[in-house]
Structure 1
Amino acid sequence: MNCLRKGIVRPTIALRSSPLTALNARRHLANNGFFRVSEEVREALNSRKPVVALETTIYTHGFPYPENVALASLLESVVRVNGGVPATIGILDGIARVGMSPEEIIRLTESAGKKNTLKLSRRDLSYVCGLRLAGKTFNGGSTIAGTMLLAHLAGIKIFGTGGLGGVHRGAESSMDISADLTELGRTPVAVISSGCKSFLDIPRTLEYLETEGVGVGTFADGRKGDVNFPAFYSRDSGVKSPTTIADEIEAAAIIHAHNSLEIQSGLLFANPCPIEAAIPQGEMDSVIEEAIRQAEASGATGKDNTPFILAKIKELSKGKSIPVNRALIEANVRRATIVARELATLDVKQDQAQGRPSTHIPGVEQPSPVSSYVEYIPNIGSTLHRETTSTLPSYTSSADIVVAGALAVDFSCDYAPLPGSGNQIDPSFHTSNPAAIHQSLGGVAHNIAKAAHYLGSSVRLCSAIGDDLSGRAALSQLQSEGMQSDGIKVLSAPNRTAQYVAVNNADKDLTLAMADMSILESSTGASISDTWLSSPPNTPPRAVIVDANWTTEAIHMWLWYGKSVNALTAFEPVSMAKATRFFSPLATSDQATVFPNHLADIATPNLHELTALHNKAQDSDLFNSKSWFRVIDALGIPSSGLRVPLSVTTSPELVDQGIPQQSIKLLPFIPTLLTKLGPRGVLLTKLIRAGDPILSSPDEAQYVLARCGNNDPEVGGLYIRLFVPERILGPGEIISVNGIGDTFLGALAATITSGRRVEDAIPLAQRAAGLSLRSRESVSPELKSMNMNGSMDFEFAIR
């Protein structure tokens, strides 16, 4: 990617004044009984993060199961590794979904080839969604046209795919023209593809796109002068491209101008197939001619024409077309993500130029509202103490573990339709709905503290509640659970107790959720010091755990406090958006936060949060600091790299996704990373200190993948180990996934503070998480009966 960026200058934003543009940008379809946008995608769009739409016809009608699952996983990973948020789009059970979960993708890909799994374009969406109300449910892969429409309804501007449909040969008689072209003429989404399918009439396809008012350009891909429009499997078609695009920054500038001018047609950016994978044009032309001849002889027309020809191309090319197809799709999605990143930067800069507030600039931390934060950071090893003018009480009792973060009142509203109601599945908007409403105490920090408490640790939960009814209920419930409550501070109005409200349909699937965590979002380093740390206990804690619901300043203050009392410090990222709060310009000096002066000893991200942390560090240029290089060099990684040993120690799939590689790059900032991989287990990536007995243990030798060779006094080597679950719970055994990661961290902290190594604590923490998977409670009460001797009959995967 650095090669792509070399010598590129980003364009300057011109000021404009168009209230209509801001208004139109917000006119996106809300979730309803036919259309759902995932929480992750909604959050990304609201915070101006780069989002890339991905189609699903290629999974339902292109690749067989389980190859389609592997391809889906690969393409989503390509988006995440390059700094974007994937929005896989398809239809499941008659509902159009934008941003499908891994479980939903597996369900869709498993249904490939079945009678009720359809190939869905614009014309088909109302049919499959409407028939759900009549008791007929369909699954479907969205075509380029269908994906464009649904992406636009959600507010997504970039779509990465394989090859576009087009004008078929002989269309002057058959009128066989793909709906993809018409969709490009009326839907403002930018499509990045390898041109159109090479068996189509490329000159007439470009002519039709011109008639539809579609801007078409081809990436130069390092070439000079005019270039050919690509022919899918081949880089050249013999047809000159209407325009040439130098790089992703130019593409993003074109899209930004297109949207600013409110042009209601789409854009097509053709990305040539990678050189190493492409098939020469002459060789491919003969294969295509024969495939078309056989299609005509077989009478394959209409929607059956393209699948027939593609199958014949595969057969006649002796399978050579398949790896080309994979390579070009991956390249297109990667390029689409980089374009989306550059577009997000331009959009946010435009908002700032117009004086509109913006919540996110890709790779840039927003300035702190506090003029100076440095005065609130204690020196490592010093005793933290500040005089306080606060009238709130300070805690004086001791605890082994301090957990700082969210305490919230959770409301779960399950739609309970009345007999004879017209809609038996989804609640109606803009009116009252009958429901079964359940209230419970939640919040990430609360769940972590509760798990550790159930396992016998003395725990103090440090959080804030409002002086309101919800706050009093939360405090009463906390005390009834037998947990210390002197770390809970009651803040006067207008502060409100944190609340989370989930509205579920009759099938218990989330329809709408609202979260109010503003009571923590307003915290500063000074408020943490004055409110919670002004009178520290006589016996300092052994561990300090912080969740990312606080502001960056507050997170750092809690972690510095843990360091000042020589406690184990742990960071729970909470979500992709909040994980990046760990890094900020206030804590990125060349020495201040790099091993051995790091802030957090342990972090427990899931797969997506790990990528968010990695991308934030990369965008903040932290991987170019001298102290980062010092630690990485001291690990002793051989010049040949670690791909083979990483594949053996973890899995080839994880290595292909770049998960262990991302973890290694983050070790100078967080020397122990526990990445939660769902049913694949937990990946431990650890920086070994110099002199650690693990370096000489024959039992651990297989996990020590590198050893320090430059006599660094602090760094001993690199330890990587995948803790695979012994048994994975089936869908019928899983009651709730809420709080599983929190349970894992709470159990981990309880085990480590009892004197065990992190390697020994992980299996027990996995078992604890498994108990919560089978419980209606976020943290299973069965944890109370677990012993701490490490023995167990089973382990479970955590999500």
Structure 2
Amino acid sequence: MIQSISSSVRPRRLAFGVSGRLRRCYSPNPFFAVSEEVREAVHSNKPIVALETTIYTHGYPYPENVALASELESIVRINGGVPATIGILNGVAKVGMSPEEIIQLASSVGQASTLKLSRRDLAFATGLRLVGKSFHGGTTIASTMILAHAAGIKVFATGGLGGVHRGAETTMDISADLTELGRTPVTVISSGCKSFLDIPKTLEYLETQGVGVATFADGREGKVDFPAFWARESGVRSPMVLRDEVEAAAVIYAQHQLGLQSGLHFANPIPAEAAIAKAEIDAMIDEAICQADAAGASGKDNTPFILNKIKELSGGKSLAANRALIVSNVKRGALVAGELSKLEGAREDESSKGSKSIRISHFQVSQENNTAANVPSTLYADLAPPPPPPSDPHPPAKVLVAGSLALDHTCTFTPLPSSPSPLTPQPRTSNPATITQSPGGVAHNVALTLHTLGIPSLLHSYIGPDPAGPALLTHLANAGMRTDAIHTLRQSRTAQYVSVNDVKNDLVLGMADMGIIESAGAAPEWRPEVPEGVDWLVLDANWMGGAQRAWLRAARAKGVNTALEPVSVPKAGRVFALGEGEEAVPVWPDHVLDLIAPNRDEVLAMHAAARGAGALEGKGWWSVVDALGIGDGGARSRFERVCGGALVDEGVPQCAVQLLPFAPVVLVFPALEVDPSEVVSVNGAGDTFLGAMVARLVLGGTVESAVGFAQGAAVETLRSRRAVGEGVARLKGTGLGEGIMERGGRGFSMERRKYGVM
């Protein structure tokens, strides 16, 4: 079996434990699915934190549970980790659930088909799908550990650990969490077990199971108590103490290096500001237990009854403590996973200096002297050659798109039969509507268009530490797009956009909160970075004027072509708005803009801004306009032949021509002839147009040849509710010519640029 991996290398040792479960996580399995993000994180040794779902299905109501799920995933990401939310959806165990899957599971709270699943329940919840019975399920600590281990995840953060119930010597009521810790090598970080359990017996049982238990000192010196969930002290000393995450990572690393098949439990005391004093919570627990005994609440009904009574007796204080401790534990888990990732990487680099090494899935086979391995042969029984680690799925970017990544809310007016306004929503009152949410933002839409058309691109944007941010990141990852240039700003909100459409799906009103982009570009330490190898920079006007000009200068310094999407009438002229001491936007041949793509209202706004900034008065601007040779007498008739009298009366072509000194190609996004019955949404059509234009130009096309292709892509978006229509994918390769990687050229060259308004 080893020889099939490498005929010339005989294994000296296994650096990580191998089991059949570990192997199967990369084999086709109808009951088990690992997200691409989690797979890639395991292969790349990124920090990963497993998150359970019983807290969402049996702990919090909908939609509060969705908000908590988004918050916990965001905490993992903010602290450098990859969240892996684990649950059962339609009879399939999911590791790394998407936002949509989490919402589907969380919204099923209270349904008979939504189960609380421990180890014993997994086969039932998944296997019965084969006979037409479909179940959702929230995973407990025990089942989450099993599925996390099967996916190669070593760190799991949760709220509280199950334990030995009081009176277990007669009832035998012992949580399956404890036995699972004795046989599954995953580290569980929690705030200890709830103090209505028998904590001394719980620790004794964990010792019997061979589980290492320690408590984070959290700044305290000397011996510390094992925590009691709501209280930082339990009156029972912790078996071991960890000073910080570095020590925790060292213990986990040693546990796996030794091949120990039991887990670890690291107790993280509840934050002091959220804790309930031991005497206070003990009094509540005693009263709750008395009431449980009187009500006959035993077995699986005991814990929910007691928790509900404690909530009542504490006046809701216990709920606030619950949330504070789970947030604290997830943050601690992300930091521990980060330290473990560093340690494993450093040790692997160190060992590779004196030995040859083959990386196989998430374990390592090393060979030092080509001697026989001094390892029991049973360790190799399940070692079948897994698929090789994937190569980098993202080729070097050809286009950098910088600007907004936002959560779009689309509100389409759906009038009642008796509505006095059958076509357009009425102002200053509530209107019936269909409201949908989707990823958006101008830069995102352009980048997604490029990605859909097969052009390697990189989106540079920002998100906040709120539920929308991680949801958008997950969307990008699921779409196969790069996320390494998406940055989190701790004190900002993720961008959001609300569009209100009439019954024909024409935009009535749009509201945009893009302050995160504006604040990012205004930060004193902010500097634009244009990666090597990029051919185009596409910029959206959500950046303030100074930041736009900084991006354009950085791109021009590297010989990169530039395009600007003006975004909206209020923002279109920002590129001309100068701060004190700033230089004006330069004109041909020193221009920093190569292409702009405004609609007719935006081109008027850009012209007004340029005029207001005095940019239309310089000698350089006059010399370029004069060189165009447009005489006063024949200009109107020529413009009318191209775009009709109405646009000439508005001054659209005249203003566009006067912008040519700043950008030698001005594409005024045209009206498209589409059957109104085919129009589903107007959102994103202009962004798709620009993305498709740049895609064609990257591959060496001319502006003239690209316009028709870009119009076709925009029409596909008009026919879709998505920011980039599903039909755009069908255009990949159609009209784009040869593939970019085969051409190897820079596409739209300086020599082929010329003045033009289209």
- The TM-score normalised by the length of structure 1 is 0.52
- 2:716–2:727 Cα contact (<8 Å) kept: no
Q: Please give the secondary structure, in 2, of the residue aligned with 1:272.
A: coil
Identical counterparts, % of pairs? 51
Q: Please give the secondary structure, in 1, of the residue aligned with 2:729.
A: coil
Q: Please give the secondary structure, in 1, of the residue aligned with 2:188.
A: strand
Q: Please give the secondary structure, in 2, of the residue aligned with 1:27.
A: helix
1:110 deviates by 0.8
Distance 2:686 2:14 in 1: 43
Q: Please tell me the root mean square deviation across aligned C-alpha atoms, in Å.
A: 5.3
- 2:31–2:91 Cα contact (<8 Å) kept: yes
Identify if the C-alpha distance between structure 1 residues 703 and 244 changes in structure 2 by more than 3 Å, giving closer, same or farther.
Answer: farther
- 2:89–2:135 Cα contact (<8 Å) kept: yes
1:669 aligns with 2:528: yes
List per-residue Cα deviations over 1:337-382 (Å, max 9, x = no partner). Answer: 1111111122222322332366999xxxxxxxxxxxxxxxxxxxxx
- Specify the alignment match of 1:239 in structure 2: 236
Greater length-normalized contact order (CA 8 Å, ≥ 6 residues apart):
2
Equivalent position to 1:195, from 192, 198, 217: 192
- Specify the alignment match of 1:686 in structure 2: 543
List per-residue Cα deviations over 1:747-785 (Å, max 9, x = no partner). Answer: 58589999x9xxxxx99997587468664662569x99x
Equivalent position to 1:33, from 27, 30, 33: 30
List per-residue Cα deviations over 1:167-196 (Å, max 9, x = no partner). Answer: 111112211110000100110000011111
Give the alignment of 1:242-257 within 5 angstroms. 242-257=239-254
Letter in 2 for 1:189: V
Letter in 1 for 2:528: F
Give the alignment of 1:280-429 within 5 angstroms. 280-355=277-352, 356=357
Q: Please give the secondary structure, in 2, of the residue aligned with 1:21.
A: coil
1:21 aligns with 2:16: yes
Distance 1:232 1:580 in 2: 47
Q: Please give the secondary structure, in 2, of the residue aligned with 1:32.
A: coil
List per-residue Cα deviations over 1:375-401 (Å, max 9, x = no partner). Answer: xxxxxxxxxxxxxxxxxxxxxxxxxxx
Distance 1:321 1:341 in 2: 30
Equivalent position to 1:81, from 69, 78, 81: 78
- Specify the alignment match of 1:258 in structure 2: 255
1:64 deviates by 0.4
Equivalent position to 1:226, from 204, 223, 227: 223
Give the alignment of 1:449-488 within 5 angstroms. none
- Specify the alignment match of 1:746 in structure 2: 691
Distance 1:158 1:331 in 2: 15
Distance 1:702 1:289 in 2: 66
Give the alignment of 1:156-195 within 5 angstroms. 156-195=153-192
Identify if the C-alpha distance between structure 1 residues 664 and 579 changes in structure 2 by more than 3 Å, giving closer, same or farther.
Answer: farther
Identify if the C-alpha distance between structure 1 residues 703 and 19 changes in structure 2 by more than 3 Å, giving closer, same or farther.
Answer: farther
- 2:679–2:720 Cα contact (<8 Å) kept: no
1:31 deviates by 3.9
Equivalent position to 1:118, from 115, 118, 121: 115
1:105 deviates by 0.7
Structure label with greater radius of gyration: 2
- Specify the alignment match of 2:133 in structure 1: 136
Q: Please give the secondary structure, in 2, of the residue aligned with 1:141.
A: strand
Q: Please give the secondary structure, in 2, of the residue aligned with 1:689.
A: helix
Letter in 2 for 1:50: P
- Specify the alignment match of 1:153 in structure 2: 150
Give the alignment of 1:728-747 within 5 angstroms. 746-747=691-692
Letter in 1 for 2:546: R
Q: Please give the secondary structure, in 1, of the residue aligned with 2:16.
A: helix
Gaps of 5+ in 2: 1-10, 363-383, 403-445, 461-472, 499-511, 532-538, 550-563, 586-677, 698-702, 708-712, 736-758
Q: Please give the secondary structure, in 1, of the residue aligned with 2:297.
A: coil
- Specify the alignment match of 2:265 in structure 1: 268
Give the alignment of 1:587-736 within 5 angstroms. 612-613=484-485, 668-669=527-528, 686-689=543-546, 700=570
1:612 deviates by 3.7
Identify if the C-alpha distance between structure 1 residues 198 and 691 changes in structure 2 by more than 3 Å, giving closer, same or farther.
Answer: closer
List per-residue Cα deviations over 1:208-261 (Å, max 9, x = no partner). Answer: 111111111111111111111111111111211111101111100100000000
List per-residue Cα deviations over 1:629-672 (Å, max 9, x = no partner). Answer: xxxxxxxxxxxx965x989999xxx99xx999888879523599
Letter in 1 for 2:485: L
Identify if the C-alpha distance between structure 1 residues 268 and 121 changes in structure 2 by more than 3 Å, giving closer, same or farther.
Answer: same
List per-residue Cα deviations over 1:711-747 (Å, max 9, x = no partner). Answer: 67799xxxxxxxxxxxxxxxxx999xxx999958725
Q: Please give the secondary structure, in 2, of the residue aligned with 1:136.
A: coil
Question: How many positions carry a matched residue from both structures?
Answer: 491
- 1:743–1:779 Cα contact (<8 Å) kept: no
- Specify the alignment match of 2:729 in structure 1: 778
1:40 deviates by 1.2
- 1:219–1:272 Cα contact (<8 Å) kept: yes
- 2:361–2:387 Cα contact (<8 Å) kept: no
Distance 1:245 1:316 in 2: 34
Identify if the C-alpha distance between structure 1 residues 326 and 33 changes in structure 2 by more than 3 Å, giving closer, same or farther.
Answer: same
- Specify the alignment match of 1:8 in structure 2: none
Letter in 1 for 2:191: S
Letter in 2 for 1:27: R
